[in-house]
Structure 1
Amino acid sequence: MADENEEQQEQQADGGAKKKKLLLFGGLGAGVIIIIAVVVWLFTGDGYTTAKATDSSNSSNVVEADTSEAPQVGNALYVGMPRPFVFIVPGDARERTVQIKVQLMVRGEDNEELTKRHIPLIEGTLHQVFSSSTAEELKTANGKEKLRELALRELQSALTKVAGKGLVEQVLFTSMVMQ
């Protein structure tokens, strides 16, 4: 009798361990499947959007290529700064630390390459412009817009002196954090 009870307890313990292992592997398997599905969805979504944008820009280039040598609407390219700009600005009660991530919009692959070649000049100019602002200016949408316009003017001026043309059409703030 005692031997039978011990055997039943061992079988129940083995069955419980097997159930735990089965649940663990099942949960891990489901988690992996979910992660794979999300990754595939993200890559598929981005590929579709990029392909669609490329197709529409190519069709507009074909139409406008014969009309003039001015930059076409569909050939905007974006040059990202290699690192965010971090600087300190004066505020009412205390100084504040600001971080701004910037992308530059240029027209054409030639301007993109020239812009990439002049990244140190661009970074220096933008850092000088950004650090001359105040926390009060950066708190308002109007102040941010003025800073963006000032950055564009200064950047085009500096690039014109070095490269012979402004190269950059827009300065875009992709992220701004103030602490």
Structure 2
Amino acid sequence: MAEEELQMEEGGKKGKMMIVIIALVVVLAGGGAALFFLGGEEAPIEEDFASATGAPSAAPSSSSEPARVGTALYVAMPRPFQFNVPGAGRDRLVQIKVQLMVRGSDNEEVAKQHIPAIEGTLLQVFSAANADDLVTEAGKAALRDQSTREVQRRLQELAGAQVVEKVLFTGFVMQ
């Protein structure tokens, strides 16, 4: 009977020791996973690294591009743009959903403040489009680039700075 109690105590100690070891392994694995997912940073792109450290970038920035300072934020236009465009065969109805890419919360606030002016500028650019051009990917890219230039020009007039870095089409439907 004494031998059975001794074996039970040893078995109980082994069981407790196994639980402690398993708990330790789980805690270490969880810590390692947290370090991997939260602590590790990817190597930044050269331009972003230079702007983040304050060092001058290797590529000279042209006066038409806004400074890449701050995190990229996206300002969604409140409603999609719907308009008719003429084409060689027939007129088409186009719907474009737009978001503006800005850098930093200050530019985000300025862009939100001037949404009506931005919408007006985009409608002017979109209304000058041709359905035959918008069928091709090159035509869509040209419209996107022209939209970016015109919005930047308009915000330069209104706010005194190029607030918007890019105009992005997040939805494009043509019927």
Answer whether TM exceeds 0.5 for this pair: yes
**Within-5 A mapping of 1:1-179:** 64-67=52-55, 70-72=67-69, 75-179=71-175
Compute the TM-score of the two structures, normalised by the length of structure 1. Answer: 0.62
Aligned amino acid, residue 149 of structure 1: D
In the other structure, the counterpart of 2:64 is none
The 8 Å contact of residues 80 and 103 in structure 1, kept in 2 or not, is answered as yes
The CA distance in 2 between the partners of 1:89 and 1:66, in whole Å, is 45
Deviations 1:25-61 (A, max 9, x none): xxxxxxxxxxxxxxxxxxxxxxxxxx97xx77xxx78
Greater percentage in helix: 1
Cα pair distance change 1:94/1:120, threshold 3 Å: same
- Match of 2:87, SS? coil
RMSD of aligned C-alpha atoms? 2.7
The CA distance in 2 between the partners of 1:142 and 1:164, in whole Å, is 31
| Identical-residue share of aligned pairs (%) | 55
For residue 65 of structure 1, report the CA deviation from its aligned partner: 4.5
The CA distance in 2 between the partners of 1:80 and 1:97, in whole Å, is 21
Deviations 1:58-115 (A, max 9, x none): xx78x924546x534x611100000000000001221110000001100111000000
Aligned amino acid, residue 164 of structure 2: V
Aligned amino acid, residue 96 of structure 1: R
The CA distance in 2 between the partners of 1:66 and 1:93, in whole Å, is 54
- Match of 2:83, SS? strand
Compute the TM-score of the two structures, normalised by the length of structure 2. Answer: 0.64
Q: Which runs of 5+ in 1 are unaligned?
A: 1-50
Number of aligned residues: 125
The CA distance in 2 between the partners of 1:64 and 1:127, in whole Å, is 35
Q: Which runs of 5+ in 2 are unaligned?
A: 1-36, 43-47, 57-66
